[in-house]
Amino acid sequence: MPSREHPQRTEDGRHLVIRGRRWRAADPELPQEIADALRSELGRARSALRTAREPSEIALWRDRVQLAKEGLGERGTPWWEMMEADRRRRARERLLALRGTEAPGTERPDAERKAPMPRSLAPGQRSRIHILDVETGQDVIVHDSAEVLYEAPNWSYDGDWLIVNGDGHLFRVPVGGGEPQQIDLGDLPDLNNDHVLAPDGQDVYVSADDGRIHRAPLAGGETIPVTEDDGHLHFLHGVSPDGTTLAYIGVQRLEDGTWLPPKVFTVPSSGGAPTPLTEDEFPDDGAEYSPDGAWIYFNSERARTVPGHAQLFRMRPDGSGVEQLTDDERVNWFPHLSPDGRRVAYVSFPPGTLGHPADRDVILRLCAPDGTGIRDLVRLHGGQGTMNVNSWAPDSRRLAYVDYPVDA
């Protein structure tokens, strides 16, 4: 049996020569753990592509091969033409995209199934908390950090504070600017970026890395679990106007580690049995009540033509009467109703995006509650963490959001 030919690298290190053909080499300067993770994703996708038969399945796995090879630097802009920070950011973006939207049937080692760690800034990256006037376009940065990656602003009902998460904790940020003040949540596990204030303005509901939703007093003190450990991860997005019901996203974990598509659930805010509102094969997310309680707004892939192509929808609180609100080439996530019910703000990702990854060039957009009258508000570098929860001011005129620029 002939021995396998060992690839030779060109003198400049940019290509491999295999059987006389030149192939672009992977970026040799990527952090080892990121490169290894991308190669693992690439191997899984190639293996699945060999057995795929349905056109949609073939397209999905080809997309994942493309993402992995772009992350490694084997496709896309040549890595030697990019700054090192940009190369690392591209690799991290592609890995987050692959991890953020699992392909059907994907199984992961237990080490990759641990509770997510708090996100952190890349070298040279900043998190900037903004307040935007949607009528005048005035945009003010109220806090700029090179140490903590802040995410997902809520606005206090008195209009004086923003509530954000960072490093697994919750913080208050003065609307007029100033240093974030950590909120004491006792012994809660690290938080993710899904938190919503209770209508009384005294408590906040949070999603923690134990997979459950908890109620916590903003003044600090004892926290109370709302949801049970039922084999799902629970990601909070909405509280009914009367405060009696929470809308959240549930992701079921099978015994083999596979994650099923996320679904919309409701649960009494005092605890109890959850009610599933969506039960199909299409991923749903971002479920949030309208101010009058008549609708639940959410994003979904139920009308997709390619994997990941989420659009905005709404349905009645019992899951009936589903209506599609947007229908365009972009990938639309996280619809947020203004307190007066007249406007919807959302995050619009580039076409072809899988999930809602970080570090993408996105657009914050505005539309009417029925999806008409779409207009751009601001373009920014962000995505995950920018506006995962409702960030409208009580005056229904200002929005808070976070962007994550990287220094050149």
Q: What's at 285, amino acid-wise?
A: D
pLDDT of residue 273: 95
Q: What's at 47, amino acid-wise?
A: S
pLDDT of residue 110: 34
Tell me the per-residue pLDDT of 218-241, one tens digit each, with 9 for 90 and over.
Answer: 988 789 999 998 888 899 999 999
Provide the mean pLDDT of the chain: 88
Place of tokens 């990702």: 349
Question: Confidence band (pLDDT; 50, 70, 90) for 408?
Answer: low
pLDDT of residue 257: 54
Q: 259-263, 306-310, 330-334 — which is least confidently predicted? A: 259-263
Rounded CA separation 48/84 (Å): 32
The torsion angles phi and psi of 88, rounded to 5 degrees, stand at -65, -40
pLDDT of residue 6: 57
Rounded CA separation 78/312 (Å): 35
Residue 28: pLDDT over 70: yes
Give all domains of the chain, ordered by start, each with its CATH number: 8-105 (no CATH), 127-403 (2.120.10.30)
CB-based contact 396:375 (threshold 8 Å) = no
CA atoms within 13 A on the CB side of 60: 24
Rounded CA separation 113/195 (Å): 22
Question: Confidence band (pLDDT; 50, 70, 90) for 258?
Answer: low
What SS3 state is found at 64? helix
Cβ atoms within 10 Å of 21's Cβ, excluding its own = 8
Rounded CA separation 105/239 (Å): 32
Tell me the per-residue pLDDT of 67-76, one tens digit each, with 9 for 90 and over.
Answer: 899 999 998 8
pLDDT of residue 100: 57
CB-based contact 389:401 (threshold 8 Å) = no
Residue 112: pLDDT over 80: no
Tell me the per-residue pLDDT of 149-186, one tens digit each, with 9 for 90 and over.
Answer: 999 999 999 999 999 999 889 999 999 999 999 998 88
pLDDT of residue 175: 96
Residue 328: pLDDT over 90: yes
- The beta strand positions in 213-283, using DSSP E, are 213-217, 224-225, 232-239, 245-252, 263-268, 275-276
pLDDT of residue 189: 85
